[in-house]
Amino acid sequence: MRLSLGLKAGERLKEIRSRLGITTRDVTDLSQKIAESEGNEEFQISNPWLTEIENSDAIPSIYKLFSLSVAADRDAASTHSSDARRGF
């Protein structure tokens, strides 16, 4: 995956999410599951919060970064395994 180097962190996050086909709702739902599993609501990402991060210079907490990375990694892994099954 090639990213544009001139983008801000939030813009890069949005680009990655879009390329992987992850909706803001997907991120919200997965982060809720992580928050429940960890017993810590700091992992939860709301739709408005994600939109704010993607469109501003706001900096997410380590908890939210974890949830974002799990969402991206989970979709990237499923994309790669689907590609491998199809012979890509």
Domain chopping of the chain, boundaries: 9-75
pLDDT in tens, 8-63: 888 989 999 999 999 999 999 999 999 999 999 999 999 999 999 999 988 889 99
CATH topology of domain 9-75: 434 Repressor (Amino-terminal Domain) (1.10.260)
Residue 85 has pLDDT above 70, yes or no: no
> Looking at residues 54-81, what average pLDDT do you find?
79
Give the span between the Cα atoms of 33 and 31, in whole angstroms.
5
pLDDT at 80: 39
pTM over 0.85: no
User: What is d(CA 85, CA 42) in angstroms, rounded to the nearest whole number?
Assistant: 36
Q: Are 67 and 13 in contact (CB under 8 A)?
A: no
Give tens-digit pLDDT for 7-22.
688 898 999 999 999 9
Query: What pLDDT score does 8 carry?
Result: 84
